[in-house]
Structure 1
């Protein structure tokens, strides 16, 4: 009887992939930006042809969200991102100051290990592959087990297109036998330079343990504050469009609404007229008990389900027009499921007396999971907006826009990204909308423009002007010293 040890197979494959990627990246590092751009264009063009097919495939495989919305994300990654990448210089001379005689040289990090979530498997894979090759890096994917077939198919399409236009074999690759041991081997391999973990918290400790730099685009607990000067109709439409997109699985989406007390009745009425259902305390308790497992992890069976499906699972009835479930809450606590991230169309709802109390509530919510991902504000008061932006422990602040779309750069001018860092406010090495510029280091070049003699002369000149003038000391030559010694000797003899 033959027993196949998948852990050993995965570890061995990881070593081979890392070594091959290292050799391929050495070749890739010599490619000019123009050649890298050509490869990226071909990759994006080819994968774009399969956007619908892969959207349907990912939905069928994972049972998360809506394939129509996944299609939009796939087009965003293959088209909108590509437009932003055009003209961006990441390798070679990326900046030159002729007047000051300095240059910036972009240097690829090397071999990147990529982990993608099952919630947005195709779009995140396209995005990471494009920005890695754009910046001259090799990249190896460890596919999420729940979306493995879809991720592998997307990568096969891009690999074929890229290698057809000169990408060295092994520069874009993936682990076929996926196990935690194999993924850890990839992250710990000496050839690995950087780890990009998007939405796979289970592998985060192993990533940090590797000692390699980690870019983490993880969960968020982003509140949306509706301030008294807001356009209430637009704010509500933005929130509902955002939280129902792909059934709420976008990590940057709103997780709660904090509303200014003086406009609360208008906000609630507008929410209800747009398909939001305010649950009773009993209904909210039933649903809340389903979010998390006994070990504290999110139950995948509620992830990406519609409001109608969630109500059915929790055994209560909602109107057929319901698209969003809302639970009114007063307090934030780690034991309250509504204080945490909910990857489905469910929101907590808090009422505060004024913007200062709302500010404190938002901070509480952001710190509950300490990830500091995204905060949204709906307001026309620039002073309040600035006070919020200055005080919040968060990676990005969005103003008057749907969080799902604004955070990824679709409805804002932030970089179009499917890995949203939280930096020092949360986890990982950056709070950026991660771009190719996060995958390089910059070599500084500076020409000599001053002589060391000039600097020394200037320092001495400054000393003379700043220090008090010293008293002049008499200068003695050797004859003077001898004469003084003779005088002293004669005087001593006379004293005796």
Structure 2
């Protein structure tokens, strides 16, 4: 029975990729204006269905809060669109007359889009939009526990794209998700790039597939509260961030780090703003539920309310009104589950002797899990910010802002994205907040500016070209683009 299902899903992938390849031929021949029209249609559809898709996601997965998922859907549909609508991604991007070069944007081709269960519908809107803006078809591989809401989100954006002129097959989704289907999609000869958002095993599989991939590692960001910070404001930002969609954004804070001199002020402010600080006994009870025996995050705590997590761990004294559960921690690594990523309403709290020890602890946490992802600091002393920023292994250093929303570019001026690269230190091919420009190749046309005699140290060529740069007419540009299209197809 399972074998039949696997075979059907693999054949489905082959069919979807075949249609996507046909769609690629059409997309590659489109103008920038055509692609912009399709992108705008997806934006409108995503915004129109933001609330409905959010409710479907919570109902199916049990993760997060519908009102916050609606914000994420609108962020993907509207905030992202505003950031990319004027970008040039297709055809001639730039011309340097002095250096005699022309840059031409070329779509990478069929993209495999892996979608997690924590941010299912917003990820679909986001990835569909950046792919269409770049002229690439995308085949989605949904997480099995969110296949319904992901499938519905794909239908919404695909229908909008088709109505705006996108070809059939430009946006599609595996209806029967299996590991075999995802593997077949990632390894298909015509899949040109993998956008991998999901668990560590899936991201590793993407990078091991033999297909170029952009994957993101685990987030496990510490938040350092310096003595120059406004403590009340810092705690508010941390709790607002951690409670947004019940902690399911990977850039959300996973621990608070402060010094002994700040311990009392920070603890009192946490209690005042609704956090529940665990006793030693409660710490032990909850620690048993954070990770599974194999060391991975326990899905039972992901995106759940404090009441649900407290009931699971037998924390009878935790009030129903508590916003976050905070556990004092002293170590990092195996045997210290609070030091790992927790995509739920649980925070570790580290109290260090001084600032130097706090910096070492932040680095240690990130090196254990979360290297290359996100670090946040609350301080008014810019020299402290610079010192920490230079030392921590993180691609995003966020200052005086909620980390979950700052990392994705909602409360900062970072590029708005739901795939956050971790760089080489985090095992990722990019440290960017991923956007359309990460999904194109750039073909460069270059005129000769020297002759062989000049390279040999001889006199300049008698007929050396003038320094005014090439005059490139529209016919030449059209010829260049047509050649690219023929090569792609």
* Alignment TM-score, normalising by the size of structure 2: 0.91
User: What's 2:487 paired with?
Assistant: none
1:423 aligns with 2:423: yes
Q: Which runs of 5+ in 1 are unaligned?
A: 461-496
Structure 1 segment 342-361 matched on structure 2, within 5 A? 342-361=342-361
The answer to whether the Cα contact below 8 Å between 1:111 and 1:194 also exists between their aligned partners in 2 is yes
2 CA distance for matches of 1:188 and 1:32? 30
1:269-308 Cα deviation digits (max 9, x unpaired):
1111100111001101111101112222222111111122
- Kindly report the root-mean-square deviation, in angstroms, between the aligned alpha carbons of the 2 structures: 1.7
In the superposition, relative to structure 1, how do residues 3 and 192 fare at CA in structure 2: closer, same or farther (>3 Å)? closer
Structure 2 residue matching 1:264: 3-state secondary structure: helix
Structure 1 residue matching 2:281: 3-state secondary structure: helix
- How far the C-alpha of 1:388 sits from its partner, in A, is 1.3
Structure 2 residue matching 1:395: 3-state secondary structure: strand
- How far the C-alpha of 1:333 sits from its partner, in A, is 2.1
In the superposition, relative to structure 1, how do residues 322 and 450 fare at CA in structure 2: closer, same or farther (>3 Å)? same
Structure 1 segment 202-213 matched on structure 2, within 5 A? 202-213=201-212
User: What's 1:13 paired with?
Assistant: 12
1 CA distance for matches of 2:264 and 2:399? 22
1 CA distance for matches of 2:104 and 2:251? 33
1:35 aligns with 2:34: yes
- How far the C-alpha of 1:260 sits from its partner, in A, is 2.6
The answer to whether the Cα contact below 8 Å between 2:306 and 2:323 also exists between their aligned partners in 1 is yes
In the superposition, relative to structure 1, how do residues 370 and 43 fare at CA in structure 2: closer, same or farther (>3 Å)? closer
User: What's 1:480 paired with?
Assistant: none
User: What's 1:380 paired with?
Assistant: 380
The answer to whether the Cα contact below 8 Å between 1:260 and 1:352 also exists between their aligned partners in 2 is yes
Structure 1 segment 265-344 matched on structure 2, within 5 A? 265-316=264-315, 317-344=317-344
- How far the C-alpha of 1:331 sits from its partner, in A, is 1.5
Structure 1 residue matching 2:93: 3-state secondary structure: strand
2 CA distance for matches of 1:13 and 1:379? 53
Structure 1 residue matching 2:102: 3-state secondary structure: strand
1 CA distance for matches of 2:445 and 2:320? 64
- How far the C-alpha of 1:455 sits from its partner, in A, is 4.2
User: What's 1:75 paired with?
Assistant: 74
1 CA distance for matches of 2:129 and 2:326? 38
Q: Which moved more, 1:110-119 or 1:371-380?
A: 371-380
1:49-73 Cα deviation digits (max 9, x unpaired):
1111111111000000111110110
Bigger CA radius of gyration: 1
The answer to whether the Cα contact below 8 Å between 2:290 and 2:338 also exists between their aligned partners in 1 is no
1:398 aligns with 2:401: no
Structure 2 residue matching 1:134: 3-state secondary structure: helix
Structure 1 residue matching 2:394: 3-state secondary structure: coil
1 CA distance for matches of 2:230 and 2:445? 50
1 CA distance for matches of 2:25 and 2:335? 50
The answer to whether the Cα contact below 8 Å between 1:370 and 1:425 also exists between their aligned partners in 2 is no
1 CA distance for matches of 2:37 and 2:444? 27
User: What's 2:233 paired with?
Assistant: 234
The answer to whether the Cα contact below 8 Å between 1:17 and 1:173 also exists between their aligned partners in 2 is yes
Q: Which moved more, 1:118-127 or 1:170-179?
A: 170-179
- How far the C-alpha of 1:109 sits from its partner, in A, is 0.9
2 CA distance for matches of 1:185 and 1:134? 26
User: What's 1:259 paired with?
Assistant: 258
1 CA distance for matches of 2:453 and 2:324? 72
Structure 2 residue matching 1:5: 3-state secondary structure: helix
Structure 1 residue matching 2:359: 3-state secondary structure: helix
The answer to whether the Cα contact below 8 Å between 1:111 and 1:191 also exists between their aligned partners in 2 is yes
1:160-186 Cα deviation digits (max 9, x unpaired):
111112111111111112111111111
The answer to whether the Cα contact below 8 Å between 1:108 and 1:440 also exists between their aligned partners in 2 is yes
User: What's 2:151 paired with?
Assistant: 152
1:87 aligns with 2:119: no
User: What's 1:467 paired with?
Assistant: none
Q: Which moved more, 1:165-174 or 1:73-82?
A: 165-174
User: What's 2:479 paired with?
Assistant: none
Q: Which moved more, 1:51-60 or 1:388-397?
A: 388-397
User: What's 2:115 paired with?
Assistant: 116
- How far the C-alpha of 1:4 sits from its partner, in A, is 7.7
Q: Which moved more, 1:53-62 or 1:314-323?
A: 314-323
1:184-216 Cα deviation digits (max 9, x unpaired):
111111001111111233323432332111211
In the superposition, relative to structure 1, how do residues 270 and 11 fare at CA in structure 2: closer, same or farther (>3 Å)? same
The answer to whether the Cα contact below 8 Å between 1:308 and 1:323 also exists between their aligned partners in 2 is no
Q: Which runs of 5+ in 2 are unaligned?
A: 461-489
2 CA distance for matches of 1:321 and 1:156? 38
Q: Which moved more, 1:222-231 or 1:311-320?
A: 311-320
Q: Which moved more, 1:111-120 or 1:293-302?
A: 293-302
In the superposition, relative to structure 1, how do residues 31 and 109 fare at CA in structure 2: closer, same or farther (>3 Å)? same
Aligned residues: 459
The answer to whether the Cα contact below 8 Å between 2:372 and 2:431 also exists between their aligned partners in 1 is no
User: What's 2:447 paired with?
Assistant: 447
1 CA distance for matches of 2:202 and 2:189? 18
1:373-396 Cα deviation digits (max 9, x unpaired):
100011122222112111111221
- How far the C-alpha of 1:101 sits from its partner, in A, is 2.3
- How far the C-alpha of 1:261 sits from its partner, in A, is 2.5
- How far the C-alpha of 1:3 sits from its partner, in A, is 8.7
Structure 2 residue matching 1:376: 3-state secondary structure: strand
1:407 aligns with 2:407: yes
1 CA distance for matches of 2:380 and 2:174? 49
